[in-house]
Each structure stands twice: as C-alpha cells, then as structure tokens.
Structure 1
Amino acid sequence: MRTPLTFQLDPPVTPDLRDGVLRLWADVSNAGGAVGFVPPVTPEAIRPELVKHFVAMAEGRTRLLVGSDRDGDVAATAFFTFNTHRLMTHWVWLYTVMVHPRYQGTGCGRELLAAAAEAARGFDGIEAIRLTCRGGLGLEHFYASCGYKEVGRIPGAIRVAPGDDRDDVYMLLPLD
C-alpha cells in the first residue's frame, strides 16, 4: 500500500526540517542510495553538505521541494539549482533526489519527480530539468520511465570505492 506524500516547495527552514532532511539523507545513503555518500554515514557527516544547500537557498540559487508523509516526517526531497551562466538559464538542475527507503517501490519516487516537474514549470523561463545519476544501479531506467532522456554519460567518473568506478549519467526532461 502506497503512502501518499504531501509536497511543499520552499518550506521554512526550521530545526525540524533540517533534522528531517539529515535523517532522510543518512537513511537513503545507508540503504545504498546514490546521493553523494556511501555507507556507513551519519547525519553529522552529511550536515556540512546540507548547510551548503541551505546557504544556496538563502542566496536564491537553490530551491527545495520536500515530500512529507502522513506523520509529517520528511520522506522525500529534491533540490533545484539555477544556472548562473547567461546561455544556460533556460534549464535547472535537480539534485539530491531522495525517497526514504520505506517508501521506495511504492510510487513515491514518481510522485516526487512529477511534483518537481510541476514546480519547475512555475519557474520563470525554465524549459527543462537536468539531473545526473550514478550508473550501475539502474537509476537511469527509473528516470527514463518518468520521461527523462539520457543525453550523456561519462564513464568511470564516480569513484564509489577503490576499484568501483561508476558512470555519471546525464538525464534531461523537457517541460513542454
């Protein structure tokens, strides 16, 4: 049974939100999720990276989409980062796309991506979303099933561990 999520763009950054995102990020990472860390990782190890995201939000360069479950817990996130290069301001990056492991396989990931596309359609001048994902996990197939197209791949660009290099896969979703 799928648990519906409630999505909010640009929620207030409170201690509860911060702690919820940190827990989510650690839980996803420790379950093998490809979100910038490898297990084992603690929320404290992730905190400096989240602070960078929050600083970018405060500066207006990044926006946050949060999915909360019925209990109000942070269950999903996606960060939008806007391009500053004048020739690339018509598309936005989607980063740190996460769904809590207890909700994976329930459709919540598709809900998150649909909510992200809907949010991006409301951003002035944005025509597409780009994201990257770690090869070797089948993530590109999931994103493709949500309408994204693979537009590039850099072999071995991500070193998960010595001797474990993965492709960096570039995906694009036109918002037309």
Structure 2
Amino acid sequence: MSLTFTLDPAVTPALRDGILDLWTDVSNAGGAVGFVAPVERETVRPELVRHLVQMAEGRTRLLVGHDAAGEVAATAFFSFNTHRLQTHWVMLYTVMVHPRHQGKGYGRDLLAAAAEEARAFDGIDAIRLTCRGGLGLEHFYGSCGYKEVGRIPGAIRVAPDDDRDDIIMLLPLA
C-alpha cells in the first residue's frame, strides 16, 4: 500500500510528535538527516521547532506522507530562496522515510510527490538537495532523476576523523 501525501498539513500536536518520532527513528537507524546516532527526541526537538517556525513565516513548506495506519511515515521540507537571482529553484531537505517502511519504494514515491508539488509552485524550475557522502545516497537520488552538480569534500564532520562530502544534487523540473 502506498503513502498518502499532503502538502502544508495543519500542524497538530499529533503531526508534530509524528515528525519528531520519525526524525529520531531515522537518525537512530543511521539516516543522514542532520544528526548522528544515538540521538534522543529532546535533541531533535529544537531543530523541528526551527522548521515549524520557518513554516509559520512562509519560508518553508512541508510535504508529509502518512501510511495506511495514519502514522507519519515520510517527510520532505521545501525551502524557498529569498535572493532575487535564485528564486527559480527550491531546496528540498530533511527528506525522510521511516525505517520500517524502507525498501517499499516510499522514498521514490516521496521524491515523485515532491517534484509534482514543486512543479505547481510559481516560477520554480528545479529542486536542489544535498546529501551526506559515504552512504551511497547520491546513487539513490540519481536513480530518481537528480544529477550531482557539486561536491564539497569533507564538509560534514560526523565524528572525529570521519569527515564526509556534502553532495549537491539537482532535479530540473522542465
């Protein structure tokens, strides 16, 4: 069964807690979403609050996927450029699928839904995202149509003596 995607859902306590649980579980399963395992919910909470504030300010939009049980199973956040020369592309970040749903094609479904939504945004020609090197994520995103357009060697320090590349990917929407 596939996920049901909603753009800009009402931020209820259940949604907030669902995203917090998702983010914590993805991080603890080794997902590259801004934290390194082990991580506690209370460590993730301030970052989620920042995302929610940006949503309230209109700078960020949320795409959420719910599974058949109604649980938050996937998310992606859109961030809009404010620089007048870069308003034609959007940044996609905190792209997550719950570990219990991995291997079901939900990651591809999430990226396809994100592309569909971005095509409807006024004046957006492309989606940009970054991913952490060393995990093969660039191959997954590449298989979904994204192209690697840049790489910053050693930009992400996940532990002492463990620096990873920050890989920049782009999906043209035309």
TM-score range, shorter chain: over 0.9
Partners of 2:103 and 2:149 lie apart in 1 by 25
Which residue in the other structure is 1:122 paired with? 120
The amino acid that maps onto 1:172 is L
Partners of 1:57 and 1:25 lie apart in 2 by 17
1:40 to 38, 41, 45: 38
Partners of 2:119 and 2:40 lie apart in 1 by 35
Which residue in the other structure is 1:81 paired with? 79
Structure 2 stretches of 5 or more lacking a match?
Answer: none
Give CA deviations for 1:72-108 in whole Å, capped at 9, x if unaligned.
0000000000000000000000010000001111100
Superposition RMSD on alpha carbons, in Å?
0.5
- Superposition deviation, residue 118 in structure 1: 0.3
TM-score normalised by length of structure 2:
0.99
Which residue in the other structure is 2:5 paired with? 7
Give CA deviations for 1:38-88 in whole Å, capped at 9, x if unaligned.
111111110100010001000100000000000100000000000000000
SS in structure 1 of the partner of residue 9 of structure 2: coil
SS in structure 2 of the partner of residue 79 of structure 1: strand
- Superposition deviation, residue 161 in structure 1: 0.3
Partners of 2:171 and 2:75 lie apart in 1 by 18
Q: Tell me the matched-pair count.
A: 174
SS in structure 2 of the partner of residue 53 of structure 1: helix
Runs of 4+ that moved beyond 6 A: none
Identity over aligned pairs, percent:
80
1:16-55 equivalences in 2 (<5 Å): 16-55=14-53
The amino acid that maps onto 1:53 is H
2:130 to 129, 132, 135: 132
Asked whether 1:98 is paired with 2:124, we answer: no
Partners of 2:41 and 2:78 lie apart in 1 by 21
SS in structure 1 of the partner of residue 36 of structure 2: coil
Structure 1 stretches of 5 or more lacking a match?
Answer: none
The amino acid that maps onto 1:64 is L
SS in structure 1 of the partner of residue 94 of structure 2: strand
1:124-163 equivalences in 2 (<5 Å): 124-163=122-161
Partners of 1:23 and 1:92 lie apart in 2 by 26
The amino acid that maps onto 1:76 is A
TM-score normalised by length of structure 1:
0.98
